[in-house]
């Protein structure tokens, strides 16, 4: 178990151009489901140069209205989520970090306690959701389904062109299926470990895909450093990598054991049976 009274930072990325609605939903879940573990809530405001009218002061008012204290604020002009996470870690420098993105919502109490309780010796990364797919294999599986569908021929041609582009420009950045990785919507690690991870500059969404599920992903690097990677569910149960596909967490079943939701888990929840089957095949084969 984690050492006594650890310093834990829960880092929420507030992407200002998306508006304040996501923050409202996040705080509602934060208040509804107690963390179960002492921590500092860090609000990383991103997109200050492209906000849509809602400024950090309005977000701070929501925290005050909900009597949420022990909050730290960081401000960034712009950048991909992962780039901001790296900047936050460099600012904090020590302790433990739970990064949650703009779309994140807690679904059960003691969510932070579950992360902390599972941080035993040899663990280097814990996630609330995971997948065996990478971006390239996801595009490939999707294209196969689209070619068999009733999609308009012009749209199919566009999708083929995009696949060819991805194949020639980025194929060597991704491994074969399966490419198991922790999704970066809600992951927990130590500041020391996270700052030891190397990557090229993260300038766009494709660079972020490389970092999350490429050949040299966050998961892969932490594994190579000798650490174990865990996936946890809504009850705090931990799963080793070999068991991820058997869980009821991400893009499978009814996702009944999911601890922290995001836009992708809600996409599955709202999908019809055919789309759900495709998403499950993408994630788990």
In this structure, the answer to whether residues 64 and 151 fall within a common structural domain is no
**Which residues are within 8 A (CB) of 53 and not within 5 positions of it... i.e. 6 or more apart?**
none
Q: Determine the pLDDT at residue 122.
A: 96
In this structure, the answer to whether residues 118 and 35 fall within a common structural domain is yes
We report the CATH number of the domain holding residue 219 as 3.90.550.10
Domain membership of residue 109 as a residue range: 8-131+179-248
How far is 216 from 198, CA to CA, in rounded Å? 9
In this structure, the answer to whether residues 24 and 149 fall within a common structural domain is no
Give the residue-averaged pLDDT of 177-199. 96
Q: pLDDT, tens digit, for every residue of 131-146? A: 999 999 999 999 999 9
- Within-domain flag for 261: no
Q: pLDDT, tens digit, for every residue of 219-231? A: 999 999 999 999 9
Would you place residue 6 in the very low, low, confident or very high pLDDT band (cuts 50, 70, 90)?
low
Number of domains the chain contains: 2
Specify the pTM.
Answer: 0.94
Would you place residue 2 in the very low, low, confident or very high pLDDT band (cuts 50, 70, 90)?
low
How far is 194 from 180, CA to CA, in rounded Å? 18
How far is 65 from 68, CA to CA, in rounded Å? 8
Q: Determine the pLDDT at residue 223.
A: 97
CA distances to 16, 144, 206, 285 from 163, rounded to whole Å, are 32, 11, 14, 19
Give the residue-averaged pLDDT of 72-99. 95
Q: Determine the pLDDT at residue 54.
A: 73
Q: pLDDT, tens digit, for every residue of 223-281? A: 999 999 999 999 999 999 999 999 999 999 999 999 999 999 999 999 999 999 999 99
- 25 compared with 150, residue with greater pLDDT: 25
How far is 259 from 136, CA to CA, in rounded Å? 27
In this structure, the answer to whether residues 125 and 155 fall within a common structural domain is no
Would you place residue 4 in the very low, low, confident or very high pLDDT band (cuts 50, 70, 90)?
low
- Within-domain flag for 19: yes
The answer to whether 221 and 197 have CB atoms below 8 angstroms apart is: yes
Classify 272 as helix, strand or coil.
coil
204: left (phi over 0), alpha (psi -120 to 50) or beta: beta
How far is 285 from 273, CA to CA, in rounded Å? 16
Q: Determine the pLDDT at residue 51.
A: 65
């Amino acid at each position: 178990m984690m050492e006594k009274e650890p310093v834990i930072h829960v880092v929420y990325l507030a992407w200002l151009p998306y508006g304040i609605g996501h923050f409202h939903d996040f705080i509602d879940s934060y208040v509804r489901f107690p963390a179960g573990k002492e921590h500092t809530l860090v609000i990383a405001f991103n997109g200050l140069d492209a906000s849509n009218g809602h400024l950090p002061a309005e977000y701070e008012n929501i925290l005050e209205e909900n009597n949420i204290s022990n909050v730290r604020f960081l401000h960034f002009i712009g950048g991909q989520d992962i780039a901001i996470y790296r900047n936050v870690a460099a600012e904090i420098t020590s302790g433990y970090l739970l990064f949650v993105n703009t779309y994140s919502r807690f679904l059960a109490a003691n969510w932070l306690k579950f992360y902390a309780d599972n941080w035993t010796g040899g663990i280097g990364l814990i996630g609330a959701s995971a997948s065996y797919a990478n971006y390239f294999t996801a595009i490939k599986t999707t294209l196969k389904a689209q070619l068999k569908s009733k999609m308009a021929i012009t749209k199919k041609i566009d999708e083929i062109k995009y696949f060819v582009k991805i194949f020639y420009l980025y194929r060597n950045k991704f491994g074969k299926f399966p490419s198991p990785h922790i999704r970066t919507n809600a992951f927990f690690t130590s500041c020391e470990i996270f700052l030891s991870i190397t990557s090229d500059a993260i300038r766009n969404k494709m660079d972020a895909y490389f970092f999350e599920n490429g050949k040299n992903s966050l998961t892969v690097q932490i594994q190579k450093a000798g650490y174990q990677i865990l996936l946890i569910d809504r009850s705090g149960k931990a799963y080793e990598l070999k068991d991820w596909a058997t869980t009821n967490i991400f893009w499978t079943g009814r996702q009944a054991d999911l601890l922290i939701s995001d836009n992708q888990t809600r996409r599955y929840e709202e999908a019809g049976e055919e789309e759900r089957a495709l998403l499950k095949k993408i994630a788990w084969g």
